Structure 1
Amino acid sequence: MKKITNDILKEQIYYEKLENGLDVYFMPKHGFTKKYAVLATNYGSNELEFIPIGENEKIKVNEGIAHFLEHKMFEQPDGGNAFDKFSKWGASANAFTNFTTTAYLFSATENFYDSLEHLIDYVQTPYFTDENVEKEKGIIEQEIKMYDDDPEWNVYFNCLKALYVNYPVRVDIAGSVESIYKITKEELYKCYNTFYNPGNMALFVVGDLEVDKVIEVVKKVNHYDVAKLSNEIQKFYPEEPNRVNEKEKVAKFPISMPMFNIAFKDNKVGIRGNQLLRKEIVTEILIDIIFKRGSRLFEDLYMKGLINDNFGGGFSSQVDYGFTIIGGDSKDPKEVKRIILEHIEKYKKDGLNKEEFERVKKKKIGNFLKYFDSVNFIANNFISYNFKGINLLDYLDVVKDVTFEEVEERLNSHLKEEYCIISIVEPTKN
Structure 2
Amino acid sequence: MHKRVYKAFNETLYTQTLANGLQVNLLPKRGFHKTYAIFSTNFGSIDRTFIPQNETTAVTQPAGIAHFLEHKMFDKKGYDAFDLFGKYGADSNAFTSFTKTSYLFSATQNVRKNLEILLNFVQEPYFTDDSVAKEKGIIGQEIQMYDDDADWQLYMGILNNLYPNHPAHVDIAGTTDSIDKITTHDLYLAYKTFYHPVNMDLFVVGNIDPEEILKWVQENQASKNFKPFKEPQVDNQDIKPKEIVKHRVISLPINRTKCIVGLKGLDDIPAGREGLAYQLQANLMFYLLFGESSEQYLKLYDQGIVDDTFSYEFDVQRSFHYASFSGDTDQPEAFQTQIKEILGQAEQRLSHLTNQFELAKKEMLGRLLQRMDSLEAIANSYDGQMFDQATIFDQAEIYEKMTLDDLIRLAPKLINLEGLSTFEIRPVKGK
TM-score normalised by structure 2 residue count: 0.95
Say whether the 8 Å CA contact 1:258–1:426 is kept in structure 2: yes
Equivalent position of 2:73 in the other structure: 73
Say whether the 8 Å CA contact 2:39–2:102 is kept in structure 1: yes
Query: Using the alignment, how far apart are the partners of 1:238 and 1:377 within structure 2?
Result: 29
Say whether the 8 Å CA contact 2:344–2:417 is kept in structure 1: no
% same residue = 36
Equivalent position of 1:6 in the other structure: 6
Structure 1, 233-242 or 359-368: larger mean CA deviation: 233-242
Deviation at 1:270, TM superposition (A): 5.0
Distance 1:225 1:250, change over 3 A: farther
Equivalent position of 2:375 in the other structure: 375
Structure 1, 340-349 or 297-306: larger mean CA deviation: 340-349
Say whether the 8 Å CA contact 1:314–1:326 is kept in structure 2: yes
Equivalent position of 2:266 in the other structure: 267
> For residues 351-401 of structure 1, what are the alpha-carbon distances to aligned partners after superposition, in whole Å with 9 as ceiling and x for unaligned?
34111111111211121112100000001111x254442411321222222
| Matches for 1:138-153 after TM superposition, within 5 Å | 138-153=137-152
Say whether the 8 Å CA contact 2:282–2:314 is kept in structure 1: yes
SS across alignment from 2:9: coil
Distance 1:244 1:362, change over 3 A: farther
Say whether the 8 Å CA contact 1:4–1:12 is kept in structure 2: yes
Query: Using the alignment, how far apart are the partners of 1:389 and 1:43 within structure 2?
Result: 17
1:104 correspondence with 2:86: no
| Matches for 1:174-323 after TM superposition, within 5 Å | 174-222=173-221, 223-229=223-229, 231-323=230-322
| Matches for 1:105-124 after TM superposition, within 5 Å | 105-124=104-123
Structure 1, 411-420 or 116-125: larger mean CA deviation: 411-420
Query: Using the alignment, how far apart are the partners of 2:91 and 2:36 within structure 1?
Result: 10
Structure 1, 288-297 or 267-276: larger mean CA deviation: 267-276
Query: Using the alignment, how far apart are the partners of 1:388 and 1:127 within structure 2?
Result: 32
Aligned alpha-carbon RMSD (Å): 1.6
TM-score normalised by structure 1 residue count: 0.95
Equivalent position of 1:134 in the other structure: 133
Deviation at 1:346, TM superposition (A): 4.2
Deviation at 1:144, TM superposition (A): 1.1
Structure 1, 344-353 or 151-160: larger mean CA deviation: 344-353
> For residues 237-290 of structure 1, what are the alpha-carbon distances to aligned partners after superposition, in whole Å with 9 as ceiling and x for unaligned?
244434242111222222112222211111221532111011101111110100
Query: Using the alignment, how far apart are the partners of 2:40 and 2:413 within structure 1?
Result: 34
> For residues 104-128 of structure 1, what are the alpha-carbon distances to aligned partners after superposition, in whole Å with 9 as ceiling and x for unaligned?
0011122222111111111111111
What runs of 5+ residues in structure 1 fail to find an aligned partner?
none
Query: Using the alignment, how far apart are the partners of 1:265 and 1:239 within structure 2?
Result: 12
Query: Using the alignment, how far apart are the partners of 2:92 and 2:238 within structure 1?
Result: 38
Say whether the 8 Å CA contact 1:297–1:340 is kept in structure 2: no
What runs of 5+ residues in structure 2 fail to find an aligned partner?
none
Structure 1, 371-380 or 333-342: larger mean CA deviation: 333-342
Query: Using the alignment, how far apart are the partners of 2:374 and 2:186 within structure 1?
Result: 38
Deviation at 1:133, TM superposition (A): 0.9
Say whether the 8 Å CA contact 2:49–2:59 is kept in structure 1: yes
AA of the residue aligned to 1:211: P
Query: Using the alignment, how far apart are the partners of 1:211 and 1:18 within structure 2?
Result: 14
Say whether the 8 Å CA contact 1:354–1:404 is kept in structure 2: yes
Say whether the 8 Å CA contact 1:21–1:228 is kept in structure 2: no
SS across alignment from 2:421: strand
SS across alignment from 2:273: helix
SS across alignment from 2:288: helix
Distance 1:208 1:299, change over 3 A: same
Distance 1:177 1:85, change over 3 A: same
Query: Using the alignment, how far apart are the partners of 1:347 and 1:62 within structure 2?
Result: 40
| Matches for 1:269-418 after TM superposition, within 5 Å | 269-349=268-348, 351-382=351-382, 384-392=383-391, 393-418=393-418
| Matches for 1:37-48 after TM superposition, within 5 Å | 37-48=37-48
Deviation at 1:163, TM superposition (A): 0.6
Structure 1, 402-411 or 123-132: larger mean CA deviation: 402-411
> For residues 390-413 of structure 1, what are the alpha-carbon distances to aligned partners after superposition, in whole Å with 9 as ceiling and x for unaligned?
411321222222221221122233
Say whether the 8 Å CA contact 2:73–2:126 is kept in structure 1: yes
Query: Using the alignment, how far apart are the partners of 1:319 and 1:122 within structure 2?
Result: 27
Query: Using the alignment, how far apart are the partners of 1:224 and 1:100 within structure 2?
Result: 26
Query: Using the alignment, how far apart are the partners of 1:345 and 1:325 within structure 2?
Result: 15
User: How many residues are treated as equivalent by the alignment?
Assistant: 427
Deviation at 1:153, TM superposition (A): 0.9
Say whether the 8 Å CA contact 2:266–2:416 is kept in structure 1: no
Structure 1, 404-413 or 353-362: larger mean CA deviation: 404-413
Say whether the 8 Å CA contact 2:258–2:327 is kept in structure 1: yes
Query: Using the alignment, how far apart are the partners of 2:306 and 2:256 within structure 1?
Result: 11
> For residues 127-180 of structure 1, what are the alpha-carbon distances to aligned partners after superposition, in whole Å with 9 as ceiling and x for unaligned?
111111111111111111111111111100110010113111111111111111
Query: Using the alignment, how far apart are the partners of 1:59 and 1:224 within structure 2?
Result: 28
AA of the residue aligned to 1:257: R
Query: Using the alignment, how far apart are the partners of 1:171 and 1:347 within structure 2?
Result: 31
AA of the residue aligned to 1:395: Q
Deviation at 1:212, TM superposition (A): 2.2
Equivalent position of 1:60 in the other structure: 60
Structure 1, 355-364 or 61-70: larger mean CA deviation: 355-364
Structure 1, 250-259 or 31-40: larger mean CA deviation: 250-259
AA of the residue aligned to 1:214: I
SS across alignment from 1:8: helix
